[in-house]
Amino acid sequence: MIGNAAPLKILVVDDEPAIRRFVRTSLTAQGYQVSEAEDGTSTLGHLRRSTVDILVLDLGLPDINGLEIIERLRNQGSPLPIIVLSSRTDETGKVTALDLGADDYVTKPFDTEELLARVRASLRQRLASEAERQVVEAGPIVIDLVARIVRCGGNEVHVTPKEWDLLAELAKHPGRVLTHEMLLRSVWGPAQVGQTEYLRVAIRSLRQKLEPEPSQPRLIVNEPGVGYRLISNEP
């Protein structure tokens, strides 16, 4: 954290005290103000009583499932950034959480740097949404969302309309993983959800045009079994 601004408030929800303690220690050391909850009921109560800047949420809670909490918050119109804590084997839970409106996920076990990176990315996404970001930079790529122009190394790059729609969707959420379903629905329409080959072909083409080494992508990266994210230049 920088300067004299009030510390950002993070609510950590997990039914395992050891995990809550680890997350609290990691975040507090970076200047965040951390609160804890051990189940869904206390989580919803805390959110009603207090202002929170980001929610770190385990899915496997003993009373109200974490997925239900995400759904309730999004149905209420809450823009609260949500980072999901999930087990390594729970690919379905990750995808469902993201489709319901979670911003990102961390797979258990995780290290401090990964968690902090996800927190920073989610907070950047919230600020970007509030500021209605117009230009996004990722490596040598500059994406102008208003002018609908893509440049790589200063040179304009021609992309097809579908490639633009896909790249723009990723650029509107820099650092955030977007699921296959989310991308297919927003770019190709609801009728094409499930047609992942469309997505793979378009991603492959964008990488050929934009990545320094398309076979080893570093800008448009795959989250296996989940979706894709654009790695922006912001720290």
Q: What is the CATH number of the domain that holds 139?
A: 1.10.10.10
Domain end call among 97, 130, 163: 130
CA-CA distance, 92 to 179, in Å (whole number)?
Answer: 11
pLDDT at residue 129, rounded to an integer: 59
Domain end call among 102, 130, 158: 130
CA-CA distance, 104 to 94, in Å (whole number)?
Answer: 9
Residue 103 in domain: yes
Question: How many domains, the chain?
Answer: 2
Same domain, 178 and 201: yes
Residue 54 in domain: yes
Helix ranges restricted to H, the chain: 17-28, 40-49, 66-75, 91-100, 112-131, 161-171, 180-187, 196-210
Residue span of the structural domain in which 88 resides:
9-130
Domain end call among 130, 154, 170: 130
pLDDT at residue 235, rounded to an integer: 58
Residue 152 in domain: yes
Residue 4 in domain: no
**pLDDT, the chain, mean:** 88
pLDDT at residue 150, rounded to an integer: 95
For the cut 60, the answer to whether the pLDDT of residue 234 exceeds it is yes
Same domain, 150 and 222: yes
The DSSP bridge pattern shows strands 220-223 and 54-58 to be unpaired
Q: What is the pLDDT of residues 11-59, one digit of tens each?
A: 999 999 999 999 999 999 999 999 999 999 999 999 988 888 899 999 9
Backbone angles phi, psi at 168, to 5 degrees: -65, -40
For residue 121, the one-letter residue type is A
Q: What is the pLDDT of residues 64-92, one digit of tens each?
A: 999 999 999 998 888 899 999 988 677 88
Nearest to 145 by CA among 131, 132, 158: 132
CA 83 to chain CA mean position, Å: 7
pLDDT at residue 155, rounded to an integer: 92
For the cut 60, the answer to whether the pLDDT of residue 4 exceeds it is no
Rounded (to 5) percent helix, strand, coil in the chain:
40, 20, 35
Q: What is the pLDDT of residues 182-227, one digit of tens each?
A: 899 889 988 888 888 999 999 999 999 999 999 999 999 999 889 9
Q: How confident is the model at residue 2 (pLDDT cuts 50, 70, 90)?
A: very low
Same domain, 67 and 150: no
Residue with tokens 């993201």: 98
Same domain, 206 and 223: yes
pLDDT at residue 56, rounded to an integer: 96
Same domain, 26 and 106: yes
Same domain, 40 and 97: yes
Is 189 or 228 the better-scoring residue by pLDDT? 228
Q: What is the pLDDT of residues 117-164, one digit of tens each?
A: 889 888 777 665 554 568 889 999 999 988 889 999 889 999 999 999
For residue 103, the one-letter residue type is D
Residue 2 in domain: no
Q: What pTM was computed for the model? A: 0.74
For the cut 90, the answer to whether the pLDDT of residue 102 exceeds it is yes
Structure tokens at 166: 């896909």
Same domain, 206 and 184: yes
CA-CA distance, 43 to 31, in Å (whole number)?
Answer: 22
